[in-house]
Amino acid sequence: MDDVYAELANALAAGEKSVLARIIRQAGSAPRTVGARLLVKADGGFVGTIGGGLLERDVLRTAQEVLSSGRSSVLKVRLTGQEVAAGEMLCGGNVDVLLEPVFPGDRGAAAVFQELVAMTAQGRRGTLVTLVADGWQTGARYLVTQEGTVIGDAAWLAGAAGADVTAWAEVRRPSLETLAEGAGGMSVFLEPVEAEAALLLFGAGHISTCVAPLAHRVGFRVCVVDDREEFANARRFPTADRIMVCSVDEAFRRFVVTPATFIAIATRGHAYDRDALQSALATQPAYLGMIGSRRKRDLIYGALMADGVAADDLHRVHCPIGVAIGAQTPEEIAVSIVAELIQVRAQAHAERRPAAEIR
């Protein structure tokens, strides 16, 4: 899965025009939810997806118009049963899509998206605030950090009856907000900026060589850890974002575990698994899993509890790791592991969405 905002920041740095399309309102069983995004480049290429089929076709067509006019557009797509059947789509529903031109020189656009990318990589939080309007020639957006620092041009909002530009320093889910009538009745789209999901993968063996590219493909930043350089290298892990040839202790000194970190342990032996698990239990990741049979799990858990690890703390560990699909080969085991990572990530996202969006 490509990072839309990283691609957008790169395009601005290269002086290229783009159109950013985001779902800002969704009802019914539309294929993607609020916040889904797609970047359309001037050469016709695109990154990301907002659902495919008829919806994406209409958005791509409108994006070309926005590139030509340089003016934003709010596309209202109503997918009826007949249209869905004709387009061989699995979902219908109604969505509103904001398409905004993001051109070099636009009101601090480069600063906003470069900082947004940096924030997600560093685990900092904030909110991207965007004006929702048809026909705006230049973007009206800004980024506000959790601490209240504003990046970009917020004058358009501050000038609307003195609206507080830091009011949404921290939001939990993408949402469309209509300002009070005294503030001009404008609508803004609020998008939380959060740390990217990162997979800290201990062990560079056969299973990890299958897990790493698959996890990368579905949107995880992957860091592989092993103390053997002949195993932990770019030739074996070409898609890894980071490779650390070091001990477990050194890895935890060099890698900052955040609530967006997923830890999977698949080393070459019980002793290494135990050391990695013991160190991982001192952190608070989004997910902690260890490969192995139930017998292996019981042996390692028993040894850790003898060293003073609380039994309740071990309840956080997914072991045996992965979704139970009867996996046998390294490739199948990788599918089961990554499926569980996706499941945990999706559950966390669902908890931040209102029930009306989860249908």
pLDDT per position as a tens digit, 110-157:
999 999 999 887 878 899 999 898 877 666 899 999 889 999 988 877
- pTM exceeds cut of 0.85: no
* Structural domains of the chain in order of their starting residue, each with its CATH number: 4-102 (no CATH), 109-193 (no CATH), 198-349 (3.40.50.720)
Q: Which of 6-10, 179-183, 269-273 has the lowest mean pLDDT?
A: 179-183
pLDDT per position as a tens digit, 277-336:
999 999 999 999 999 888 999 999 999 999 999 999 999 999 999 999 999 999 999 999
User: Helix, strand, coil shares of the chain as percentages rounded to 5?
Assistant: 35, 25, 40
**Which regions of the chain does DSSP assign to beta strands (E)?**
18-27, 37-41, 46-48, 73-79, 93-102, 126-132, 141-145, 150-152, 175-178, 187-193, 198-202, 221-226, 242-245, 261-265, 287-290, 317-318
